[in-house]
Structure 1
Amino acid sequence: MRAEDLPPDAPGHYQQSHPHPYYIPEKLPLSSRVEIDEDLTATISDATFQLGRIDGISPTVDFSPVLYTSLLRLEAVETAEIEGADVEMDEVYAYHTRQKSGSSGRVSRDLQEVLNAERALSDGFDAIKQGESISVELLKSLHETLLDGVRNEGDVVGEWRDDDVHIPSPRPGQSPFVPPPADHVSELMDSLEAYIQMDGEYHSLVDLAITHYQLETIHPCSDGNGRLGRILIVLQLHKAGYLSEPYLYPSAYFNRNKQEYVETMRAVSEEGQWRDWIAFFIKGIEEQAKDSYERTFELLELRREYEAQYPNQKTSHKLARELFELPYFTADNITDRFDVSRQTAYNAIEELESDGIVIEVTGKQRNREYKAIDVFDILERPVQR
């Protein structure tokens, strides 16, 4: 689209450059009012209901810390996958299990990206819980964590970019989207920070859609913008009172709707189509909150099944009931957790293997590792739409 073709209600303008013009969004707050119609109000209501359900049930389960660790790791895997990483959930659990025993071994670049995303989300959430505001400095710190050990040559880490970036279009033949030049980034990010800290102008979920669009359009970093923006979603949901812990993993929605994600944001920039973007974004929050609730409920039901199936105090029975806190483990983990001999630990594991509850995953004769089949099936299955 040519610069002169932008409609008056587009929330920004093109600045000529070669070979493609820069798009410079207006600073927040928006100069034109976003209209919230009846359908959008219903979408907001549905998302609010689903967020209330997940934040209501999750703290009541007695494996709540493990639950939010699992959901946090799901988010880390999904957000890295959007950027091209290929990592399974059990690889993340395997790393943490081995790290506890001092033998984590070599870490691939893809896995490092996931671990960085996990740490950045955890650090950011903890900072907000402790009263820190969502600020430019916090975002820069999280960006530094995201790119720790995985930066590309020339990347600026922990600071805003000092060069231009180009975002390829998913649509063949369409020119790339070019965010504002580097010398505009600080001013635009400062206005975004101020808008977030003043709690915006609309319903908090609408403001969340607006601020996510703004961050991704500014594209303040040379790399890691998407990962940073998706972390910000979870931090803002906590700040707005929707999440007591990171029980939501929004990246899965954007991952399975990549083209619509990019195109609806571009339609905001070039056509002022806020309604479609906001509806798409909030629908994602609703779907992911619903999915988190359903996974949590299934884990709770599975826990009850195991409690009924393994009622006594044999080590194997105790292990079955502990799989929700220890879904990936070694025999040494069992000896330490239950204060039993290695032989007792192996006997317990073998019983659960024969029952189809756990499976050995390394194929080795020594230093064997096991995972809880049903628990990982619930955690790793595709979203039910």
Structure 2
Amino acid sequence: MAIQGIKKLPISIEPNQATSLLMKLANISSEIGRLDEKFKRSILKSDLINTLALKESVQSTRIEGTQVTFTDMVEQIHKSEQKWEHLEVLNYQKALTMGQERIQNGYPVSTRLILELHSILMDGAARGTNIAKGEFRKIQNWIGPTKKIEDAVYIPIAANEIEDYLDNWETYANLHPYGEKMSTAHLSDGGFIIDEHAHPLLKVAILHAQFESIHPFLDGNGRLGRILIALYMMQSKQISSPIFFVSEELEKQRARYYHLLNGTRGDNPNWYNWLSFFLDASQRMADKLNTLLDKAELMAKEGMLKCDTHIQKQIYILSFRHPNLTAIQAAKQFNLAPTTARNALNFLDEKGLLFKDKSQKRNVEYFNYDVLDLINS
């Protein structure tokens, strides 16, 4: 029997469960704060952001069954013809980048932004582009192993309820514009209420699950929901740069991820199991990102010591942003003559910092395999 519909926000859990979550929160919050401070001092900063965003884009689309890898994307980036899987990843990265710019410019996570991001996700020849982009569904949909509603594991709210539920979602995310408190009349007495003033890490976990359960679009809900995690982490000032992505950890436990999301639905939602899972995934990702940043920083500093000129150093650091680099790309980035950029790239190849694809005669590609290995580790 399929679970149907969801309760509105805020949510509640058992009081004894709250203690466990709050202990986890303290550790994770401290780890993310350490990561943010470390990143502010990094010599890589935006160069690494681009690469991490590409990895996030790959991992998020893989959750939904695509087989493309991070290395595939790096190797294919300069090809004129792209497969639909590659376009899907690139659309995700574009939507993520645009969303980050909006948040940095002071726009909140909102219904308007959601529609804008969905339009980018569904653009071009990627999967689902025959479905209305940037528009909420107008018919009933369902989640299940087949295209038959009788096989559904979950049937979301009706199409005519989407805007009402998203208004509730948006208020929970951004607070009421006039400071009014959200209603808790739908919650049973005696529970620990996680309201709109809760810790942002708890809120982002709840917002993600609720968005997936509203399922406002016919396609792209999962990808858009995971983009919203990264954006809300920035909006809530948990992290100043867009570097905290959890799709990699969610992809590793895809079956559990979907199962626990489904548990937050219906008349008797189990929010504790989902929140505990999400916090654990966030902890693992924060640990991994802290280690990755330390290694990337050391690698960059050691590589720069092998360079003779400022231009060589600049182009070497650029390869952390674009692990597959061409002379034209580097020349455009730093306003150089293509010959100057090519000479610097050849120097970096001779020093073993980059790898030159000698099979190519034109538009030669230079790979930073050290970065690829680091991101894939």
Q: TM-score range by the shorter chain?
A: 0.7 to 0.9
Cα distance in 2 between the residues matched to 1:251 and 1:219: 18
Counterpart residue number, 1:292: 289
Change (3 A) 1:319 1:129: closer
SS, match of residue 264 in structure 2? helix
Counterpart selection for 1:176 from 136, 139, 153: 153
Equivalent AA in structure 2 for residue 38 of structure 1: T
Three-state SS of the structure 1 residue aligned to 2:263 is helix
What is residue 68 of structure 2 aligned with on the other side? 87
Tell me, in whole angstroms, the C-alpha distance in 2 between the residues paired with 1:341 and 1:126.
Answer: 30
Structure 2 gaps, min length 5: 176-194
The separation in 1 between residues aligned to 2:313 and 2:102, in whole angstroms, is 39
Q: Which residue of 2 aligns with 1:101?
A: none
String of CA shifts for 1:208-245, please: whole Å, max 9, x gaps.
22221111111111000011111111111111111112
Q: Residue 74 of structure 1 contacts residue 249 of structure 1 at CA under 8 Å; is this kept in 2?
A: no
1:127 maps to which of 90, 102, 117: 102
Q: Which residue type is aligned with residue 96 of structure 2?
A: L
Name which of 55, 59, 64 aligns with 1:74: 55
> What CA distance in whole angstroms lies between the structure 1 residues aligned with 2:93 and 2:270?
33
Residue 373 of structure 1: how far off its partner (Å): 1.4
- Contact kept, 8 Å, 2:60 with 2:223, in 1: the verdict is yes
Q: Which residue of 2 aligns with 1:244?
A: 240
After TM superposition, list the pairs within 5 Å mapping 1:344-359 onto structure 2: 348-359=344-355
Aligned ranges 1:163-312 → 2 under 5 Å: 163-168=139-144, 176-198=153-175, 200-269=196-265, 271-310=268-307, 312=308
Q: Superposition pairs for residues 354-369 of structure 1, below 5 Å?
A: 354-361=350-357, 363-369=359-365
Paired residues of 1:147 and 1:157 also in contact (CA < 8 A): yes
Give the secondary structure class of the aligned counterpart of 2:154: coil
Q: Residue type of the partner of 1:126? A: E
* Secondary structure in structure 2 of the residue aligned to 1:160: coil
105, 108, 111: which one pairs with 1:136?
111
Contact residue 71 and residue 246 of structure 1 kept, 8 A: no
Provide the secondary structure at the position in 2 that maps to 1:329.
strand
Inter-partner Cα distance in structure 2 for 1:293 and 1:254: 18
SS at 1:370's partner residue? strand
The alpha-carbon distance between structure 1 residues 272 and 325, as it changes in their structure 2 partners (threshold 3 A), is closer
- 1:175-218, CA deviations, whole angstroms, 9 ceiling, x for partnerless residues? 52222222222221121112212181422211222221111111
Ranked by relative contact order (alpha carbons within 8 Å, sequence separation 6 or more), the top structure is: 2
Identity of aligned residues (%): 26
Shift of 1:378: 0.9
- C-alpha deviations, 1:292-320, integer Å up to 9, x for none? 2211111100012213344x339767754
Note closer, same or farther for the CA distance 1:256–1:349 as it changes in structure 2 (3 Å cut).
same
Normalising by the residue count of structure 2, what TM-score does the alignment of the two structures yield?
A: 0.83
Residues 292 and 375 in structure 2, CA contact (< 8 A), matched pair in contact too:
yes
Post-superposition shift, 1:91? 4.9
- CA RMSD, 1 decimal: 2.9
The whole-number CA distance in structure 1 between the counterparts of 2:129 and 2:103 is: 32
**What stretches of structure 1 of length at least 5 have no aligned partner?**
2-20, 99-103
The equivalent of 2:123 in structure 1 is 148
> 2:3 and 2:330 mapped to 1: Cα distance?
58
Change (3 A) 1:53 1:88: same
The one-letter code of the counterpart of 1:158 is: G
- C-alpha distance 217-352 of structure 1, shift in aligned 2 (>3 A): same
C-alpha distance 214-59 of structure 1, shift in aligned 2 (>3 A): same
Alignment coverage as a number of residue pairs? 351
Letter of the aligned partner of 2:132 in structure 1? V
| Letter matched to residue 255 of structure 2 | Q
Q: Distance in 1 between matches of 2:359 and 2:9?
A: 56
Question: 1:26: which partner in 2?
Answer: 7
Q: Deviations over 1:352-373 (max 9, x none)?
A: 4455432235833332211111
Q: Report the CA distance shift for 1:136/1:34 in structure 2 as closer, same or farther (over 3 A).
A: farther
2:35 to 54, 69, 76: 54
In 1: Cα distance, 2:159 partner to 2:3 partner? 10
Please give the alpha-carbon distance, in whole angstroms, between the structure 2 residues aligned to 1:345 and 1:197. 46
Contact 2:3–2:265 (8 Å) recurs in 1: no
Amino acid at match of 1:233: I
- 1:157 alignment partner in structure 2: 133
The equivalences for 1:367-378 within 5 A come to 367-378=363-374
Structure 1 residues 328-364: Cα deviation after superposition (integer angstroms, max 9, x where no partner): 212344566484673x765654554455432235833
- Tell me, what secondary structure is at the counterpart of 1:110? helix
Letter in structure 1 aligned against 2:93 = E
SS at 1:114 equivalent: helix
Q: TM-score, normalised by structure 1?
A: 0.81
Q: Give distance in 2, aligned partners of 1:309 and 1:116.
A: 36
